Amino acid sequence: MHSNGLFLQDVAGFLGSYYISVAIMNAVAAFVLWQSKKQVGWVVCWLVFSGVMLVLASLALSGSAELVPALPPMVRNLVNALSGPVNYTLGTTALFSMLFILRKFFVQPMVAWTILNAMLVIMGLSMADENFASIVMKPDNVPIVGLVFLLAFFTWLATSQAVVNDERIKQGLPPMEKLNDEKVLVWPDLVYTELICMVAVSALLLVWAIFLQAPLEEPASSVKTPNPSKAPWYFLGLQEMLVYFDPWYAGVVLPSLVVFGLMALPYIDFNKKGNGYYSIEERKFSYLVYQFGFFELWITLIILGTFLRGPNWNFFGPFEYWSPYKVEVLNNVDLPQMFWVGLFDRPLPLAPAGASVLTQVGTILLREAPGLVVMGAYLLLLPPLLAVTVFRKFYAQMGFIRYMVMSNLMLLMFTLPLKMVLRWTLNLKYIISIPEISLNF
């Protein structure tokens, strides 16, 4: 408690001004609502909430470490105990699915505002935890916190417009963007907006630069490897993929495919609708694929890699101490091992010493037959199979080449979540493992 007390004294000033900002934000919201003379119930609600935030602020600023508002240790331990790569991934997937399915409910301004406040309060309470704060407050990690809030805001902004447009299109009306067809002069309407944006961004940067010092650690030393060693934060999604794949795939092939896939996107997406306005219903398939790739396979992995991966790349709960002595059991098995040893109780096929190259290659192919069959079926059989079933319409409209590029990119993208699930359920390490040519998949 005492060492924690020192930390709480340090963070109290920040938390105090943090809660005051939230209080002011809600007071302004209440005032704006009151001015518009709508939703009086919410005015009272945000005023009361603002008052509660002021109470939290005064508790934080009371000068007594015990009074700083924080999550009870029981809750923190529970969160730590419940978090792990599996629950994290399934939980975020469930969360995104819920937000998507119930989007008409979540885009309502008052619901969105409630969620924002909840996020802010949870953030504030969590910051009173030393382990949480030490990771989140690392100067280079601060942008990720900003990214989370910005993504939440802009996704709300886009979805609320898409929901309105979808409803209008269903009624046979043009999208909202079409209504404002009037033309204006760029001077002053656009150049002034740009000027104001530039001033606002400059001000934000200056405040950020004044209050947060850029990190500078000890001088570089090629003999002192930090644990954990992490790439810059925007590449941590890729580093997280290394848990499931070898570097040649996670670090080279998959990133290249991401770039290639993004470039191919406008040529694959043959849907003419939804050009130049927000909509979801008109382009559900491309919307869902993009959102899955962007949120689930990029952003959540970055957050996982930055905030929840500690020494030895072990998983740590958000309130857990990053102990380098944490040991995790690694009992992953390759598919050939499962097949030959597990299923048939035979040793792995092995070429006799001094065998000809042809025999060696043959033995390797035999040994890896189960993996090669699985991957062959996945990459070669599935595209035509899908073309005559689920993607029948797509295939007809896209033509052979376009369809093959699309289906293969999708299948390769889904190797990541599939491998994750296989790892969690079967402890599968590699589907194909040919160390002879460093090829593990």
Partner 1 sequence: MAIGETIRNSQIWKSIFRHPMPLDRRNRIVVMLTNFFLHLHPVSIKKQGIALSFTWCMGGVTFFLFLVETVTGVLLMFYYRPTLEWAYNDILALRDVTSLGILRELHRWAAHAMVITTWLHMYRVFLTGSYKPPREFNWVIGVILLLLVLLLSFTGYLLPWDQLAIWAITVGSNMARATPILGYEGPGQQLLTIGGIDMITDGSDARFGLLGARFVGEETLNRFYVLHCIAIPLAAALLMAIHFWRVRKDGGISGPL
Of residues 172-201, those binding partner 1 (CB under 8 A): 174-175, 177-191, 193-194, 197-198, 201
Indicate whether 265 belongs to the interface with partner 1 (CB under 8 A).
yes
SS3 439: strand
Q: Which two tokens stand for residue 153?
A: 């805001």
Of the pair 300, 440, the CB lying nearest partner 1 is at: 440
Q: Min. distance of Cβ 344 from partner 1 in angstroms? A: 27
Q: Is 252 in the site for partner 1 (CB under 8 A)?
A: yes
> In Å, what is the CA distance from 172 to each residue of 75, 168, 251, 361?
50, 6, 47, 63
The site string for partner 1 over 276-295 (x = CB under 8 A, - otherwise) reads xxxx---x---x--x---x-
| DSSP symbols for 300-318 | HHHHHHHHSB-GGG-B--T
Q: Is 275 in the site for partner 1 (CB under 8 A)?
A: yes
Q: How far is the CB of 384 from partner 1 (least distance, A)?
A: 26
Near partner 1 by CB under 8 A: residue from 98, 101, 203, 208: 208
Does 171 help bind partner 1 (rule: CB under 8 A)? no
What does the per-residue mask of binding to partner 1 show for 210-239, with x meaning CB under 8 A? x-xxxxxxxxxxx-xxx--xxxx-xx--xx
Q: Which of 17, 28, 40, 267 binds partner 1 (CB under 8 A)?
A: 267
For residue 302, the minimal CB distance to partner 1 (Å) is 10
Rounded to whole angstroms, what are the CA distances from 437 to 221, 353, 431? 33, 18, 15
Provide, rounded to whole angstroms, the least separation between the CB of residue 64 and partner 1: 33
Cα distance between residue 399 and residue 394, in whole Å = 8
Q: For residues 404 and 402, what is the distance between their CA atoms, to the nearest angstrom?
A: 6
Please identify, using beta-carbon distances, which residue of 50 and 279 lies nearer to partner 1: 279
> What is the distance between the alpha carbons of residues 272 and 283, in angstroms, rounded to a whole number?
9
Among residues 7 and 313, whose Cβ is nearest to partner 1?
Answer: 313
Q: Whole-number minimum distance, CB 96 to partner 1, in Å?
A: 14
How many residues sit close enough to partner 1 to count as binding (CB under 8 A)? 94
Cβ nearer to partner 1, comparing 210 with 330: 210
Count of alpha carbons within 13 Å of 101, Cβ hemisphere only? 6
Please give the C-alpha separations between residue 161 and each of 82, 112, 149, 280, in angstroms, as whole numbers.
Answer: 36, 14, 19, 10
Helix (H, G, I), strand (E, B) or coil at 89: helix
Structure tokens at 89: 């991934």
| 349: three-class secondary structure by DSSP | coil
Among 94, 206, 350, 426, binds partner 1 (CB under 8 A): 206
Whose structure tokens read 């600023």?
61
Q: Which residues ranging from 128 to 167 are in contact with partner 1 (CB under 8 A)?
A: 140, 143, 146-147, 150-151, 154, 157-158, 161-162
Least gap, CB of 159 to partner 1 (angstroms): 9
Asked if 401 interacts with partner 1 (CB under 8 A), we say: no
N- to C-terminal Cα separation, the chain: 48
Residues 273 and 282: beta-carbon distance below 8 Å = yes
| Nearest CB to partner 1, comparing residues 121 and 265 | 265
